[in-house]
Amino acid sequence: MVFSFRRTTALLATTTLVSLLPLCGHARAADQMQIMERQIQAMQAQLSTMKKEHAEEVKRARAVLARQREEAENNPYAQRGRYIGQPRQAAQPLISVRQAKPGADDGRPPSDRADVSSWSDFQRATAQDEEVTVGGIKVGFPGGRPTIQSSDGAYALSIGLAYHEDFGGFFNSGPRAGETRGAFNGFTSNQRRLRIPFMFRYKNWVAAVTPDFGANHNDGYVGLYEGNLNYTGLHNTVLTVGYFQPRVTEEDSESSNDFFTLERPSITDMVRNIAAGDARFSVGGLHYEKRWWVAGYFTGQEWGHRNASDMSSTYYGGGSGSTVDSQTGATLRVAGRPVVTKDVDLHIGASAISAFKVACNTGTDPNHCTRSTSFGQRPEFDIGEANLAATGGISNAAQVWAAGPELGLRWRRLIVKGEYYHVGVQRSAPGLKSASFQGWYGSAAYTLFGNPRMYNIKEGAFGAPGVKASEEFNPALNQWGALEVVGHYSVIDLNSNLNDANAKNVIRGGQQTVWTGGLNWYPNRHFRLMLDYSRFIVSRSNQATNTAGRTGNSIAARIQAAF
């Protein structure tokens, strides 16, 4: 551009000088000066015009460069795409915000587990959520959980929270003559759960790691809830390997953020821990459709179960440094929905679980080991109190199993459900009979206001009430969230062979009955306040806290946060 301008200037000067030569010999000096001045003025006018044109060209070039620089910053891969033959994309702003779709979220609490969904489900949830894009990285809250992901969603990291703080106490629960008092506090508190689920995703591969800072009946212990690898690329299927909570029984398939009352009924808590429970090594998977659900897992030891220093800190009894042969087992659950309408959901199912090889621990003889098991349950309020119903150790336990049906019905805002399980312990020594136990429960929940509980096809269970964003607690707008009234009746019978002549066959674990009623208030999808009253009645057992039978009452509350 500069070269062209100089060349034109030289040409004009040369032309002017050549045109002046003939005039030198034929005109007077004054005439020659006038002609020269006019030529110079014409040249100056032409130069001025050329300067203006040059300035405009420079301005346009700078504008093009500025646009190219902005495009490169907003879309750094566009230039690479042109080199490899991809169509050029329109420049995108550095920061953009996409609003959530109206009505896309039903406002139900997030799970207490990592979000292990298929890549397509994850993208669908992301598309329904409000989202901020910063330089090609997307930040949003799909399903109510903070999530960072790449522009195509192939890479993602989600962080969640399940925070349950319980407080309350017992009254009229004192021991009778000769019984040990037990830890039945008049008032105390317990960090029941403090889980922080981490989900690391690459397309349909998901790693889930969830530490738990409320991993015991008392404050102060840290444990692991889950640490596993999952593949979700098959239709409505999740395949899992690692430390996991295998889904068995209807209550155990629910997230703890969805429970009717503070604790599971005693029988489902007892059954699940035969070969499942929290942080159990598992290999298996689940599959769901709109009308049916199935899950099965091969299982091993619980996390930390061979750690001698963990004797009293893991949730269900701790580890043992003398374990020389870890437990193996399996679980199976099948559920269906034969009736599905707007107002009615009918749920039926069955669960089975077995520890077909009980863990073997060395005793006084290091060359041999013993296999034993035990059962015990607190009166369904978990703030560190003692067991009243418990079998004590059951020796020579070759195999432990449980099986039973489950039934549930939703009619509009009302849900009723129940489960029954029979538990068996096969014993290996001569003269020892198998032991058998049983238990059942019935529960009901009615949503007074807010979105009622609905069926969750991914869990094969009933989820919590929902609070849409437009209905969150705000007294100024006469909005109160959701409120439900709940109750259940729960029984476990831990007595077996009471009339047998061989004292080694007699197991007096007691029969425990618990009546519970309560209220659950959801101001929004992320928070819940629970209040339960329970009455427990336990027949005598071999526990020092319950040699004559014991009754009592408790009042308990929970503050819950779920993200």
pLDDT by residue (tens digit) across 282-321?
999 999 999 999 999 999 999 988 877 555 544 445 567 7
User: Does the pLDDT value for residue 47 go beyond 80?
Assistant: no
Q: Is the pLDDT score of 481 beyond 60?
A: yes
pLDDT score at 35? 78
Write the CATH number of the domain with boundaries 97-562. 2.40.160.10
Helix H or strand E segment including 292: strand 292-302
Say yes or no to pLDDT of 272 above 70: yes
Higher per-residue pLDDT: 407 or 6: 407
- Residue 520: pLDDT over 90: yes
Within the chain, how many helices (H) and strands (E) appear?
Answer: 6, 29
User: How many other CB atoms are there within 10 angstroms of residue 306's CB atom?
Assistant: 17
Residues 536, 550: Cα–Cα separation, whole Å: 8
**Average pLDDT of span 146-171:** 95
Nearest by Cα to 152 from 129, 115, 126: 126
pTM recorded for the entire structure? 0.81
Looking at the chain, the whole-number percentage of residues with pLDDT higher than 90 is 66
Residue 20 pLDDT > 70, yes or no?
Answer: no
Could you tell me if 91 and 77 are in contact, meaning their C-beta atoms sit under 8 angstroms apart? no
Given a contact cutoff of 8 angstroms between Cβ atoms, the answer to whether 226 and 244 are in contact is yes
Give mean pLDDT, residues 490-511. 97
What does the alpha-carbon distance between residue 207 and residue 230 come to, in Å, rounded to a whole number? 6
Q: What does the pLDDT read at residue 304?
A: 86
pLDDT number for residue 23: 43
Q: Residue 39: is its pLDDT beyond 60?
A: yes
Average pLDDT over residues 514-541: 98
Examine the pLDDT at 6 and tell me if it is beyond 80.
no
Q: Is 292 exposed, middle or buried (0-12, 13-18, 19+ CB in 10 A)?
A: middle
pLDDT of res. 13: 47
Amino acid at the residue 3: F
Confidence band, pLDDT 50/70/90 cuts, at residue 45: confident
Average of per-residue pLDDT across 41-45: 78
Per-residue pLDDT band for 92 (boundaries 50, 70, 90) equals low
> What is the chain's alpha carbon radius of gyration, rounded to the nearest angstrom?
37
Contacts of residue 60, defined as CB under 8 A and 6 or more positions apart, other chains included, come to none
Question: Strand (E) positions, 7-55?
Answer: none
91 burial (CB, 10 Å; 0-12 / 13-18 / 19+) is middle
Query: DSSP letters along 355-385, please?
Result: EEE--EEE-S-TT-EEE-B--EE-SS--SSP
Q: How many CA atoms lie within 13 A of 431 on its CB side?
A: 5
Residue 308 φ/ψ, nearest 5 degrees: -65, -30
DSSP state of 502: S
For all residues of the chain together, what is the average pLDDT? 87
How many residues appear in the chain?
A: 563
Phi-psi domain of 88 (left: phi exceeds 0; alpha: psi -120 through 50; beta: other): beta
Confidence of residue 273 (pLDDT cuts 50, 70, 90): very high
pLDDT score at 319: 67
Dist. CA 373–CA 392, nearest whole Å: 8
For residue 98, the model assigns a pLDDT of 66
pLDDT, tens digit (0-9, with 9 covering 90-100), for 411-423: 999 999 999 999 9
What's the pLDDT score for residue 372? Answer: 92
Neighbours of 510 (CB within 10 A): 24
Domain ranges, ordered by start, for the chain = 97-562
Of 6-15, 62-71, 123-132, 496-505, the range with the lowest mean pLDDT is 6-15
Res 4 pLDDT > 50: no
Give the per-residue pLDDT at 96. 66
Q: So what's the pLDDT on residue 79?
A: 47
Res 312: pLDDT: 52
pLDDT digits (tens, 9 = 90+) for 208-229: 999 999 988 788 888 999 999 9
Q: What is the mean pLDDT of residues 70-78?
A: 55
φ, ψ for residue 368, nearest 5 deg: -135, 160
Judged by average pLDDT, the poorest of 8-17, 187-196, 369-378, 488-497 is 8-17
Distance CA 222, CA 209 (A): 14
Lowest mean pLDDT among 164-178, 235-249, 365-379, 403-417: 365-379
Question: Mean pLDDT over residues 347-373, rounded?
Answer: 89
Residue of 535, 545, 435, 548 lying closest to 493 (CA atoms)? 435
- Helix, strand and coil content of the chain, in percent to the nearest 5, comes to 20, 45, 35
- pLDDT number for residue 305: 84
